Amino acid sequence: MRISVIGCGYLGAVHASAMAELGHDVIGIDVDEGKIAALAAGRPPFFEPGLPEILTSATATGRLRFSTDLADAADAEVHFVAVGTPQAADTHAADLRYVDAAFTSLLPHLADGALVVGKSTVPVGTAARLAALIAREAPGARLAWNPEFLREGYAVKDTLEPDRLVYGVAAGEQGMAAASVLDQVYRAALEAGTPRIVTDYATAELVKVAANAFLATKISFINAMSEIADVTGADVTALADAIGHDARIGRRFLNAGVGFGGGCLPKDIRAFTARADELGRGDSLAFLKEVDTINLRQRQRVVDLAVDALDGSVFRKKVAVLGVTFKPESDDVRDSPALDVAVTLKGLGADVVATDPEGIENARLRHPQLDYTSSAREALRDADLVVLVTEWREYRALDPEHTAGLVRGRRIIDGRNVLDPVAWRAAGWAYRGIGRP
């Protein structure tokens, strides 16, 4: 099919490349010339495992092109809108200016029979509003809402092999027609047995934020348990293993630590809460405010542990911060707990040296005041304290004996509970995890 993808960020660039990989004829559109030039040259403007490979192979076949001009998308049968919906500057609500701008600019280019597919995460009610706009301004075109559930770090796999497809469509025949167009787009996944749920706009919008709200709640739940574990001498990791064996609960997303961050979970739960307030149902989602509060408390908790480990003051102490991205296998530092911890420690007067395999460039743009090194060895050299806040494989694999030879003081805060306390203590380290005795 002829497909356009409007917005080539983490979501759109992967979606465009994956659709071309599946054999579709794809044009990726973005207003950022630098981004489009990089993508056209086969260079993703961000780190995502597997993306360079499919981007290069698809651009080489000619099935994937990029442009800053929406007119180049005019002959597409399906237009995916994948622009960002960040948190508004002054409220917790989502900022819809990019979505609105994308739709407004797309309208004059919509051919009769074209299908516009919203992928961006939006407040419930947005799709109905945009469907009315299309009906008024481009009556031959249709709208579907098709939320995306990809995880950074696994984005290519999640797009090629999604665990479910959700189509929000209009009622009646129009909606059925939209669903069958999406079936053609996702034929490969459907043939592989991917479950598909066809529903109304509001449900599709809600599925997305409900999923992220549930995941965020799961993480804050285990972090709350870790706070109780801390004061009782219990072990939150064993607790998570034990409750995780109950298939109704499940072990995944029960890792206590410095908490969740990134461009999705934090802003999505805030936007969801703000939308519920607007709908007069603030009480229904009041618990998500607590989920947010517990989550942010974890960052302070790691900072407090650091201060404690250095006997009450980090002033002029060298602190090696391992990790700045919000999770491994990504260069994304948006709302990163790791970077927040590094910045707070620096603010307390510590000589912070932060390291990360992929995130330094983005971190430096936001926080140029920090010292960075791409070498973990360099960060660790003569450190008085080590703080592990992003669980990159190379930090999980650190050898306590060898690391002891690099640092000045054998003190480590394991902000992700990924190290073996027994092995580290045996090598003479003062080890502190989150909710672990």
Chain residues binding ligand UGA by CB under 6 A are: 121, 148-152, 212, 215, 219, 253-255, 257, 259-262, 264-265, 326-327
Q: Checking phi first, is residue 62 left (phi over 0); if not, alpha (psi -120 to 50) or beta?
A: left
- Residue 253 or 287: the one with the smaller Cβ distance to ligand UGA is 253
Q: Quick check: is 264 catalytic?
A: yes
Q: How far is the CB of 219 from ligand UGA (least distance, A)?
A: 4
Is residue 388 within 8 Å of 413, Cβ to Cβ?
yes
Which residues face 386 on adjacent strands? 320, 412
Q: How far is the CB of 353 from ligand UGA (least distance, A)?
A: 22
Tokens 């979606």, located at residue: 15
Query: Choosing from 131, 264, 319, 419, which is the catalytic residue?
Result: 264
Of 121 and 237, the one with the shorter C-beta distance to ligand UGA is: 121
Which one, 332 or 384, has the nearer CB to ligand UGA?
332
| Least spacing, CB of residue 45 vs ligand UGA, in Å | 17
Compute the CA torsion angle 110, 114, 118, 124 (nearest 10 deg): 90
Q: Work out how close the CB of 310 gets to ligand UGA at its nearest, in angstroms, rounded to a whole number.
A: 25
The minimum distance between CB 18 and ligand UGA, in angstroms, equals 14
Tokens for 174? 């129009």
Closest CB to ligand UGA among residues 149, 406: 149
Burial of 326 (0-12, 13-18, 19+ CB in 10 A): buried
Helices (H) and strands (E) in the chain, counts: 18, 14
Write out the DSSP string of 345-367. HHHTT-EEEEE-SS-HHHHHHH-
Alpha helices in 279-357 (DSSP H): 286-309, 337-347
Q: Closer CB to ligand UGA, residue 14 or residue 102?
A: 14
Are 110 and 140 in contact, with CB atoms under 8 Å apart? yes
| Gap between the Cα atoms of 299 and 295, Å rounded | 7
Is residue 10 a contact partner of residue 117, using CB atoms and an 8 Å limit? no
Q: Give Cα separations from 344 to 85, 319, 350 (angstroms).
A: 27, 12, 9
Could you tell me the smallest distance in angstroms from the CB atom of residue 226 to ligand UGA?
Answer: 11
Rounded-to-integer distance, Cα 212 and Cα 335, Å: 15
Beta carbon of residue 39, minimum distance to ligand UGA (angstroms, whole number): 19
In the three-class reduction of DSSP (H, G, I as helix; E, B as strand; rest coil), residue 288 is classed as helix
Q: CB-wise, 84 or 175, nearer to ligand UGA?
A: 84
Ramachandran assignment for 413, one of left (phi > 0), alpha (psi -120 to 50 degrees), beta (any other):
beta
> Of 106 and 207, which has the nearer Cβ to ligand UGA?
207
Pick from 117, 138, 202, 193: which is nearest to 162 by CA? 193
Instruction: Please identify, using beta-carbon distances, which residue of 69 and 394 lies nearer to ligand UGA.
Output: 394
Residue 434, CB-side half-sphere exposure with 13 Å CA sphere? 32
Least separation in angstroms between residue 247's CB and ligand UGA is 17
Residue whose pair of structure tokens reads 């660790």 in the numeric block: 380
Q: Which sequence positions are flagged as catalytic?
A: 264
